[in-house]
């Protein structure tokens, strides 16, 4: 029988093993272990052929106050680079091998935001150097494995208008029925005749992501053009629900764009409101 942590561990291992540089695996060794503490993890990593990566869990984060549920699993990843030629080679790489900086970067790019085990998203906490000498460097990366409800790419008229890399949650507004009340002379009470549903607002909230500023700009321009045309189409949200007769009502950039410190992707927080027409 598989468990939550076993499923996550297997998925993370597959992601790390699949990283390639120049059509060859980035890591010579990929090891999953029950990470009890940093000392045991580093000791295991130093016994492996480098470049190496060791990963595992060291518990859960604190749960949200009053939630009654345990917190998210916390994942530790250790990347190890060694170079017999020089400390510079261990740090930035040379003809003898890949440096620790590149190992850390490639691992971060693959793991950050990755959805694993169906409905878990890996989110960075921090990273640091935990061992460094003339020939070997070990980086520690800490990750939170969030449980998410939103696992699909939302679409409008069949198109992922927020971009394939964006992170989007959907907030569905209140649905109210339209009706008229009436009565009959001599009969106690009131009667009601249904007239269908009122319009309601459905909001996408999240973060636009692309590799460049131009990429984020292209997403924003595309949304603005659709909003200007007043197109009415089917909207599918990030958990697979379908909403008929939707039109884009407003687009709001929240805060400034920024460059993600680990992945280098450009990110823009946003809100996108749809109005679902009455029917």
pLDDT of 110-168, one tens digit each?
998 888 887 788 888 889 999 888 788 899 999 999 877 656 789 999 999 998 888 88
Q: Can you tell me the distance from the alpha carbon of 186 to that of 188, in angstroms, rounded to the nearest whole number?
A: 7
168 shares a domain with 264: yes
Number of domains in the chain: 2
Residues 164 and 100 in one domain: no
Other Cβ atoms within 10 Å of 151 Cβ, number = 13
* Angle, helix 4-18 to helix 100-111, in steps of 10 degrees: 130
Tell me, yes or no, whether 95 and 136 share the same domain. yes
Q: Mean of the pLDDT values across residues 254-264?
A: 81
Specify the higher pLDDT residue, 132 or 64: 132
> What is the pTM for the complete model shown?
0.63
Residue 253 lies in domain:
155-276
Query: Which pLDDT belongs to residue 190?
Result: 72
Residues 182 and 114 in one domain: no
**Per residue in 74-112, is it b (16+ CB within 10 Å) or e — as a string?**
bbbbbbbbbbeeeeebbbebeeebbbbbbbbbbbbbbbb
pLDDT in tens, 196-240: 567 889 999 888 999 999 999 999 999 999 998 988 999 998 878
CATH of residue 239's domain is 2.40.30.200
- Can you give the pLDDT at residue 1? 45
Residue 66, pLDDT above cutoff 60:
no
Residues 162 and 250 in one domain: yes
Question: Are 180 and 140 members of one domain?
Answer: no
Residue 67 has pLDDT above 60, yes or no: no
The 10s digit of each residue's pLDDT in 2-59 is 588 899 999 999 999 999 888 889 999 999 998 777 888 889 988 999 899 999 998 8
State residue 207's pLDDT score.
Answer: 87
Same domain, 137 and 96: yes
Rounded Cα distance, 89 and 277, in Å: 62
Residues 122 and 165 in one domain: no
CATH number, domain of 131, equals: 3.30.2000.10
pLDDT at site 191:
65
């Amino acid at each position: 029988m598989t468990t939550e942590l076993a499923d996550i561990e297997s998925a993370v291992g597959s992601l790390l093993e699949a990283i390639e540089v120049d059509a060859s695996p980035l890591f010579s060794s990929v090891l999953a272990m029950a990470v009890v503490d940093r000392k045991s993890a580093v000791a295991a990593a130093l016994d492996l052929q480098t470049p190496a990566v060791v990963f595992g869990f060291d518990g859960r984060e604190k749960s949200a106050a009053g939630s009654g549920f345990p917190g998210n699993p916390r994942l530790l990843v250790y990347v190890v680079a060694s170079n017999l030629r020089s400390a510079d080679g261990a740090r930035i790489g040379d003809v003898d091998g890949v440096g620790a900086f590149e190992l850390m970067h490639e691992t971060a790019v693959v793991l950050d935001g990755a959805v694993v085990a169906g409905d878990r998203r890996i989110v960075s906490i921090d990273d640091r150097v935990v061992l460094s000498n003339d020939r070997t460097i070990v980086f520690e990366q800490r990750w939170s494995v969030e449980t998410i409800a939103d696992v699909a790419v939302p679409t409008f008229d069949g198109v992922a208008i927020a971009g394939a890399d964006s992170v989007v949650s959907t907030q569905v507004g209140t649905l109210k029925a339209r009706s008229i009340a009436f009565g009959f002379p001599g009969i106690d009470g009131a009667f009601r005749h249904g007239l269908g549903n009122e319009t309601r607002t459905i909001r996408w909230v999240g973060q636009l992501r692309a590799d460049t500023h131009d990429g984020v700009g292209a997403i924003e321009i595309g949304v603005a053009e659709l909003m200007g045309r007043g197109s009415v189409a089917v909207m599918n949200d990030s958990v697979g629900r379908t909403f008929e007769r939707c039109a884009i009502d407003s687009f709001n950039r929240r805060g400034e764009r920024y460059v993600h410190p680990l992945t280098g992707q450009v990110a823009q927080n946003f809100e996108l409101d749809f109005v679902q027409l009455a029917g």
